[in-house]
Amino acid sequence: MTILEKCLYIVATPIGNLNDITFRAVEILKLVDIILCEDTRNSSHLLSHFQINNKKLMSYHKFNEKSRVENIKRLILEENKKIALVSDAGTPCISDPGRVLVNSLSQEGIKIVPVPGACAFVTFLSAIYKQDEAFVFLGFLPRTFEAQKKFLLKNSFNDIVFYESASRLIKTLNNIERIFGEDTFVSIGRELTKIYEEIKTDSIKNIIDFYQNNILKGEIVVVIYKNNSNNFALDLKLLSKIEQLKNKGFSKKDIVTILVTLYEFNKNEIYNKI
């Protein structure tokens, strides 16, 4: 593989399972001179796993990204250093540091080369029920209720996707319930690609009840479903009931019997959903 000069490589890294890194990403990281890291300790673990040794690591995070730009320009333009940018997990510049650097280098005519790979919200969207392909990604929400309300209502014409921390999830879910109502459906993706991966879809009331009584840790992606047709709402309700019964250990036959008896769902539809 040939490494280009006068460019910055944007290299996506795994969001959990280290085997999700691409062959190209590994090769690029082996060949560049400097790797810009959100946290050098986390990146050292990744590099060590793939036997990428003796690399110069430079910290590049949200607290120093502006001050690093001029030095990085100089390294690329004057010293011909080959540089890659990584974040702690996933794709740089997607709710991670990098936007300031990309904007500045692009204005200098420095080529930006994306090396695609894992991205948490894209991974999550591939695994959940969707009415259509449209959605809006908001990164991390603002902290206060009023700011969240304004932000969410402005984007409520589509499914809303955002990141949230475990420590703030319950508060944010309560705010969403206040804004959109307790019948709003949401999906939660937690610890994606890791051992304790968890994906849950249910009414926001039930999701809040669940996480108030269960351990809540890790990185989290949230989807708020837009106001949907009755058929779509019924589909989500059916899927949540199936998930609950599966988690309790009921067989496929038992799940069908229970849902037909208690909720009068169509038998064939339940089989198809399972």
pLDDT at residue 104 in the model? 96
Q: Tell me: pLDDT of 238 over 70.
A: yes
Q: What average pLDDT does range 184-209 have in this prediction? A: 93
- pTM reported for the whole predicted model: 0.84
Q: What average pLDDT does range 90-103 have in this prediction? A: 95
pLDDT bucket at 99, cuts 50 / 70 / 90: very high
12-16, 60-64, 119-123, 227-231: lowest mean pLDDT where?
Answer: 227-231
pLDDT at residue 137 in the model? 97
Using one digit for the tens of pLDDT, what is the confidence trace for 169-193?
999 999 999 999 888 999 999 999 9
Q: What average pLDDT does range 72-98 have in this prediction? A: 96
pLDDT bucket at 231, cuts 50 / 70 / 90: low
Q: Could you tell me the two tokens for 20?
A: 């999700």
Mean pLDDT (the chain, rounded):
92
Using one digit for the tens of pLDDT, what is the confidence trace for 24-36?
999 999 999 999 9
Q: Tell me: pLDDT of 232 over 70.
A: no
